[in-house]
Structure 1
Amino acid sequence: MAGDRSPAPGSAHLDARLRGRLTAHLAAWLGRWPGDGPGLTVVGSAARVAPGWDGRVYPLIGVSSPESGVLSVPPGTEAAVAAALAAGDRRGVPAAAGLAGRWFSGVFRWSIAPAPLPEAGEWVAAADPSVPAWLRPFGGEVLVARDPGSGEHLAGVGIKRHDAYGRELAVVTTDRARGRGLARRLVAQAARRVLDEGAVPTYLHDPANLGSAKVATAAGFADLGWQVHGLAEG
């Protein structure tokens, strides 16, 4: 029937398989997923003292959905951190874990159905001399959009390869190229590639960054009430 939008045969199974990638990613990234119910379940994980996607150590990472959450901390600090959370003192979590810095929470988004936007960039090796300096640390290939006339870099997406199933997207647009819809098209394009490669794309941003929120929503990353928690400097 014309206009019929009912799910295609087998789509429910496909969605379950793709969502399974998110579960596998969070279990690997945090050390466990899901949590034990409302609030944050504290787990000690060796991943918190090992190098992350860029070679740096990320000693405090958490993710929470509307149903449950997990806060991953260095082994041996679980009890102290759990006590701070039980007292309602999230700002005291870093000190309880013996860490400098302050607690922050952001928006955690993921997508198994990126928006069908037209492609806007090309994949280039991060080490290519033409790639902007901010994209090079991502390694592998990065997605770049250039001015068709001058070849000037306009926008790009780097991928934080956290583990076999999780790929976090980061996008930046130059000032003069803003307002063209480049960022949303690049994010959707990168997300489709991540899914094709067997992982799940994620997108994190500060709640106050309304521009980033608009890009994520337009690219097919809905805000489902999930949060990411971590350690900020200062």
Structure 2
Amino acid sequence: MTLSHHLRQWLGAWPPTSAFDVIGSPARTLPGWDGAIHPALGVGSPEGAVLSVAPEYVAAASAASDPSEIPARVGYGSRGWFDAAFRWSTSPAPLEDAGVWVPAREAPEWLHPFGGEVLVALDPETGTHLAGVGIKRHDDFGRELSVVTAPEARGRGLARRLVAQAARRVLDEGAVPTYMHARGNAGSAAVAEAAGFPDLGWRAFGVTEGLR
């Protein structure tokens, strides 16, 4: 499947028809990968962007003069706005595998919310968890990878190897692996590049997670 399949299902429409389309989608009223509501969600390419909101908020979101206004305009004024780099890969870097797949509940606590199986790197002598990748299963066609490395294990190249390994599995399952990071996060950007997720000038944006 292609990235377009994922974005059409995740957002409700793709590709954009203008520099910034605001569209209504019932998906914004339903629980996402984590069981929470994600009331405004968008992706932008150099050719244009799509912001997806609940159908009843299209007019209000379209009238916003600044993105910071959108959380309140879609009924989530206590939350903020995020704008991140958005990457994907169809050819992960041919790096050596670094982890094993285990049920999320058998991994460190931060990986529990992802459910299913997660990828973890273990110290070969002590069995200590050194790094892990969780998968945000957004829809039938898109899987977002999240990686964390323990402070004492950084600098070994584990994160990039785990991300590439997880991406290969996602592709084998017929979905597209994606990766998002804050624009100023040089470390996360370096991991993405090394794992085969190039920066093509795309971004993801929307209302941050949190209590309504």
TM superposition score normalised by structure 2: 0.95
Deviations 1:158-201 (A, max 9, x none): 00000110000000000000000000000000000000000000
Equivalent residues, number: 209
The answer to whether 1:81 aligns with 2:57 is no
1:230 Cα deviation from its structure 2 partner:
1.2
Superposed CA deviations along residues 17-70 of structure 1, whole A, max 9, x for unmatched, are: xxx5210110000011111122x2001111111011111111110000000111
Counterpart of 1:123 (choices 92, 101, 105) is 101
Q: Unaligned 5+ residue runs, structure 1? A: 1-19
Matches within 5 A, 1:184-203: 184-203=160-179
1:92 and 2:73 are equivalent in the alignment: no
Two-structure CA RMSD over aligned residues (Å): 1.2
**Structure ID, larger Rg:** 1
| 1:15 matched residue in structure 2 | none
Task: Select the residue among 205, 208, 212 that pairs with 2:181.
Answer: 205
Once the two structures are TM-superposed, the CA of residue 127 in structure 1 deviates from its matched residue by 2.3
Q: Of the candidates 123, 135, 139, which is equivalent to residue 159 of structure 1? A: 135
The aligned amino acid for 1:120 is A
Task: State how 1:1-234 maps to structure 2 within 5 Å.
Answer: 20-38=1-19, 40-84=20-64, 87=65, 89-100=66-77, 101-128=79-106, 131-232=107-208
- Identical counterparts, % of pairs: 61
Distance in structure 2 (CA, Å) of the matches to 1:95 and 1:137: 27
What SS does structure 1 have at the residue aligned with 2:87? Answer: strand
How many Å apart are 1:156 and its aligned residue?
Answer: 0.4
Provide, for residues 68-89 of structure 1, a one-character-per-residue CA deviation record: whole Å limited to 9, x for no partner. Answer: 11100112110111121xx4x2
Other structure's SS at 2:18 match: coil
Whole-Å Cα distance in 1 between the matches of residues 184 and 15 of structure 2? 27
What is the CA–CA distance in structure 2 between the aligned matches of 1:136 and 1:194, rounded to whole Å?
A: 19
- AA in 1 matched with 2:12: G
1:172 and 1:61 map into 2 onto residues whose CA distance is 24
User: CA-to-partner distance for each residue in 1:95-132, whole Å, 9 max, x for gaps?
Assistant: 2223222222110000001000000001111122xx10
User: Deviation of residue 205 (structure 1)?
Assistant: 0.5
Higher relative CO (CA 8 A, sep ≥ 6), structure 1 or 2? Answer: 2
C-alpha separation between the residues in 2 aligned to 1:162 and 1:21? 14
- Paired with 1:125 and 1:33, the residues of 2 have a C-alpha distance of 33
Distance in 2 (alpha carbons) for counterparts of 1:132 and 1:104: 26
- TM-score normalised by L of structure 1: 0.87
- C-alpha distance in 1, partners of 2:195/2:109? 25
1-structure distance, mates of 2:202, 2:120 = 28
